[in-house]
Each structure stands twice: as structure tokens, then as C-alpha cells.
Amino acid sequence: MQLAIVASILLVVPALVEFLYTLLLRYLSARRGKLCQTACPAGPVKDKIFGLDFIYNVIFKNSDDNYLASTCRMFKQFGSTYTMKSCLWQTIFTSDSRNIKHILATSFNDFELPKLRRDAISTLLGTGIFSVNGASWSHARSLLRPSFAKRDKSAISAMLEDHFQSFLRHVPRNEEAVDLQPLFFALTMDFASQFLTSKSSHMLDETRPHDKEWQFFDDYTTCSEEVIKKMCLGPLQIFRYNRAAEKAKRRVFKYMDGFIDEALQSADSKEAKEDNVLTKLAEVTSDRKMLRDQMLHLLVASRDTTASLLCNLFFMLAKEPEMYETLRLEVLSVCGDAPPLPDQLKQMEYLCWCVQESLRLHPVIPTNAREATRDTTLPVGGGKDRSEPLLVRKGTLIVYNVFALHRDEAVFGADATKFRPGRWAGLRPGWRYLPFNGGPRICLGREY
């Protein structure tokens, strides 16, 4: 009889403790909600189910407007942090540097990459560093970091100079107009492929046969564009199927597998190994899928972002001949006609300002998002004066807008929408300028 009573107690007590603990968590969550529930300013949504009117106002309302400009308009109308609610979803939009710092650094573990983004990327470019969270992300970053930290910058500069000379051969010297965008994407493809695998695609070298490389270039672009289209569809992406993109993906994987085979053979060899990211990564893992996925993700970061920066910078300089001349004279005064050395680049102050100003006005990742992993808060954005904490329920999507952040007149002046490199003289904006993201996920290649 006594044994039965003891056994019953042993069964009941743990369940009772768990029940009381659950009640405590609910109480604390509700208490936090009461403290923050007034801190939920919301953009007006007439369609309470899908929020389609909100989407229309942001993207399509002004035919001569573009998406990024429309997001700035919404922040001016509703404040630097606002909430869009419907029956199916709730999204918080913010361009406040305090909230962005909180998301990316201070409370890093409270937020992760949204599932919709992970699914869109993984479908076509594999499960690399830009589509994983938690331990998988930490492991991937720890594997990749040494490959970027220990590279010889002088050797990298020489490598880039070779490709740049090929680039120049495509630029007319008779003041004839030229479309630089495809040339910049070819240049960054040539450099990135050599930096990552030691095998350049040589897109700019007309003396080499590179049918396979052009096919890979086109297929990779197709996959990248399809990822963007899927991300724009949000939860509806599950209904999208692009046969051409699927075929392109298979060809991309096959092309990359050739480099993976060489890297794994090199890792097993006692001969001197090539100094590239893939070879170094193959020395610590033989997982073929992981090697391929990481290389594809790094190619996105190496090719697309750098090419976009160059396109934006030269587009703005083309409209400002005096600024272009100032930049040209600075380069000539530091290194003349010779290729610049890494130490000489540090001496070119105006060049640095031009790059910073381009990244400010046109950040290569203008908007980004995170998803709350637990019930948490943002530092500001709520209450009548928008200065109170904002309650964020688990699973809530938060879109942080770097494009709008970089156009804050309180930080960058009344002409914040203008290209003016000189504004960077003495300017230290801190978390109000994030061209390379921030916190633990800050860009690995930001120094290159």
C-alpha cells in the first residue's frame, strides 16, 4: 500500500511541477505583454485577412515610384517602427538603428533567419551559410572564417589586377558609350571564381574557349533570380515551380562538382596545395554537399554584391564629372599609373568616401529580415510617442530596412538622398550605417 502511494506521488509531483512552471511562463509572458501591448503602432490595413491593400500601397501605389523609395515613404508616414497586422500574419517594419542593433547583436539569439528565406535559397542554391541558423550556422562560419582571415592581400590585389586588365580591353578609349554592368558582373565572376577555387571563369578573356563557363554564368544567374522571385512570393512560394530554373540548378551543381572533386583529391595529396577557399575547406570536411553549397553561397556574396557596388558607384560618378576628376587625381597622386598596393589604398581618402557613399545610398542588401525565436521585445517603437518597448511574439517576422536607415537626415544631413562623398569627413555613424550587416553575422569578406 505504501509503495503504491509513493509511486503515485513520484508520478504526480513531476507533472505538477511542470504544470506550475508552464503557468509561470504564461504569467510572465502575459505580464510582459501587458507592459508592452500599448507599444504596437500599426499601419492601416483594410484587408484584415491577407493585408493586400498594404502590399499594394508599398509596392504599386505610385507607378513612377520604386519599392525601396516606397518603403521610405511608409516610414515617414507611420514612424521608424510600425506593425502590419492581418489575420494570417504580423510583420514589424523598422529602420531604427536601436532596434536593428538589438536584433543583430544585443539579443542575437532571440532572432533567426526566416523560414521562408531559408526555403527559397535552399531550393536552388543549397543549404549554405546564408540559409542556416543556430549550430549549423556557427559550424559553417567557423569553417569559413580561417579562409578569409589568413589570405595574402598583396596576392589578392595582383590577382584582381590581372582580371582588371582584361576588363579594360572591353572598354572603348574613344569616348564611345559602353554598358559597364555586364562587364562588372563578368569581372567579379572571374575574380570570385579564382579566389574561391583557383580556377577563374575567364569570362572577359576572349582568347580562351569558355562555353561551359558562360553556361554556368547563365544558369547561376537564373537560379539567383528565381530565389528572389520565390522570396517575394512569401508563403505562396510553395506554389511556384520553374522548370527552367530546376534544370539550371542541376547544371550548376554538376559544374561545381568538378571543382569539389579536384579539391578533395588535393586534400588527400601530399603535394603543395593551392591557396583558395575551397581547398582549405576540403582539408577540414569531405562532405561533398556541404562543400558545394558553401561555395555557391559564397559566390553570391562575392560576385553579386561587388558587381552591384561597382555599377552603382560608376553610375553616380558618371553624373558627377567634378567628383570623378577629384577621385582620378587622388589615385594618380598616390600610385600613378601603377596598380595600387594594399597600403596605398588606405591612403586614398576620397576613394574610401566614394565607396562608403555608394554603399550608403545603394546598400547591396537594402532590406533584410529576421524571425523571433521566442517571445521577446524591441527597445523602441511602441506607445503613443513610439519610445516604449515593443512586444514581439515568437514567430513574428521583422523586416529591417538598411536603405531607409542610410537616408536618415538627422544623421546624414538634409541632402541625405544626394551623392556627396565629402559628407564622410569626420562622420562616424556607428550602427546607423550598416553596409556589411552587423553583429555575429557580419560579412566575412568586408575587408576585401
Domain ranges for the chain: 1-36, 126-155+169-299
What are the 10-residue block averages of pLDDT along the chain, 448 residues in total?
A: 50 53 51 48 59 60 69 90 76 96 98 92 88 92 83 86 94 91 95 91 84 88 89 81 93 92 80 76 90 91 92 97 97 94 93 98 95 96 84 94 97 97 97 97 87
Give the sign of the dihedral formed by CA 195, CA 198, CA 202, CA 204.
Answer: positive
pLDDT at 229: 86
pLDDT of amino acid 255: 92
C-alpha cell at 231: 522570396
Total H helices, total E strands in the chain? 18, 7
Q: What is the pLDDT of residue 87?
A: 56
- Taken in order 244, 245, 250, 253, the sign of the CA dihedral is positive
C-alpha distances (whole Å) from 385 to each of 71, 93, 442 are 21, 17, 32
User: How much is the pLDDT for 28?
Assistant: 52
Q: In the structure grid, which three cell numbers stand for residue 317, read together?
A: 560618378
- The packing angle between helices 349-361 and 321-335, to 10°, is 140
Q: What is the CA radius of gyration of the chain?
A: 25
Residues 6+ apart with CB under 8 A from 348: 330, 331, 334, 340
Strands (E), 344-435: 367-372, 376-382, 388-392, 397-401
Q: What is the pTM of this model?
A: 0.86
pLDDT value of residue 355: 98
Contact assessment for residue 432 and residue 80, using Cβ atoms and an 8 Å cutoff: no
- Where do runs of H (alpha helix) occur along 126-210? 134-149, 153-168, 180-197
**What local confidence, expressed as pLDDT, does residue 62 receive?**
52
Helix, strand or coil, per DSSP, at residue 415: coil
Q: In the prediction, which pLDDT does 65 show?
A: 57
> What distance in Å separates the CA atoms of residue 391 and residue 375, rounded to the nearest whole number?
8
What is the per-residue pLDDT for 37? 47
pLDDT recorded at residue 262: 87
Asked if 436 and 443 count as a contact pair (C-beta separation under 8 A), the reply is yes
The rounded distance, in Å, linking the Cα atoms of 437 and 43 is 26
Cα 123 to Cα 227: distance, rounded to the nearest angstrom: 8
CA dihedral 332→337→338→342, nearest 10 degrees, is 30
Name every residue whose Cβ is closer than 8 Å to that of residue 92 and which is 6 or more positions away in sequence: 81, 82, 83, 84, 378, 381, 390, 392, 396, 397, 398, 399
pLDDT at 375: 96
pLDDT of 123 reads 85
Exposure pattern of 138-166 as b/e (b: 16+ CB <10 Å)? eebeebbeebbeebeeeebbebbeebeeb
